[in-house]
Structure 1
């Protein structure tokens, strides 16, 4: 239902033509000042109107008006009734009956309320029966409540933005989510804050473990390239994708371990480091899933399907070009220009 605010005008006015909400505001208009501030907090400027007995005017908040005479005498009952009928006619022009907020004195509210009841309008009289000097305090409380609503809405929006940033649950997305959280950490609850701290810790672990894995990978590749029969070992390890897969055929493993003991030991070390990276990625995935639940525990939303933290390897792990003996998978800027065989890192296989 549309809401319409009707506001009393003030005797203290500006000397020059000014928009109404500024025309009636000033140091001597404490009540009207607070009414204007309250309606601005509710974003109701476009549906708020000042009421002036002078020529029975209904003035939009943002309409420019000029100074006009102050009526010094008490308004007659006939004048009050006439203005109330004019206001009723204004309200009846809306396609649907609006909810009417009355921020006025009794000169307007008493005759107008009778007509609103008669024509079936819903309404509320603000600061009713409160002495004039105390009315600003009533509005200060209303403004504070409205500001609390805005803060709650911003917290909710912040939660939803964070939920969206957790959509794909990868280390890179986790880093972006943490950055977004750190922009305004004060609005989040303790459990959410502590979970983000946990996520930050695992992002750091993932970074350090990835660095160790790349180092182990480079050392294995150097050893593999240095061996004259390196392609034989390369063919063997291309048939497997996990560390455990090395031991599927014990006699075959023992043969390669005798012939390539140094190289195979480096490969095993590399695969161990790779498993640490994968474990950190799964842990990040789990924490981000938990965060999504924490942020949405009071509201059910439909989101896109979550992508897996890892993908199956469908191509050979290693590639070799016999003519050039240069790997297609050598990492850039690793300082290893002599490598002829290369292997994709866990980061290349795990989303």
Structure 2
């Protein structure tokens, strides 16, 4: 019996803000399952800021490639259930992750390396965590937060750590991980509601809204003695403020620059402070630190189980809502991990 399913396709590259008209939902036949492959019915799919970089005619050099027009959007982390398997180690009913999201069904080559290895087909243990948590705290988001703090030595404790975009999927985990390791944590976000959540629920030591006053002013009040570590998700004026506030021998971990995803790049004007203060600035990707995945899942899984760590989600229902979810996330109108629940797979 032939099977068909829907997939979201890009039909035009945005020249400014992302809009729903840049996408369409298309019904396509599902290809037969070949040797070494499995058929997965997708149940949850991820929405991440980095997807905006792939909605350009050419993605940044060295990054994941741009999404082609009028084709499936490969390279999006997804959770699903195996329907049919012709691959050893995978059986119908298994919950798996892979990187062929924003579609109802995916035929996945079990041996194919996806997203530098992070998205390679893998069976998940849903007895210890909700399936969708593997797209957040126990997946790429958790790995990015954990790895970023690791590569700049911020897990030793006793320092002041500032995390920008701290109410987002990665930032909200980075602040909690930094707290768990004994740091004083400063957080910034884009609304008073998010600031209250960071203070009241996540227990950061100080927080401010970058919309209420210039970033440098908010940071000076929150961290009057300066900062030792900056976890950068934003770039631009946030990075500039961090350079001003960094203490000598401070470290900066850069995982993103969301302020520039829909506008022209605006680099810091005070970069020489990296020299004057003997700073270390380290760019990194979660998928480049797969050696930390098992360690991260064990540590953060235990913290989830005993309530020391929270996973907050903003969930959109149905495949067709994926473009809207991306638009809302980029606009700063979501909190925590943004997900699409594929409740309408036929």
TM class, shorter-chain normalised? under 0.3
TM-score, length basis structure 1: 0.23
More strand by share: 2
Q: Which has the higher contact order (CA 8 A, sep 6+)?
A: 2
More helix by share: 1
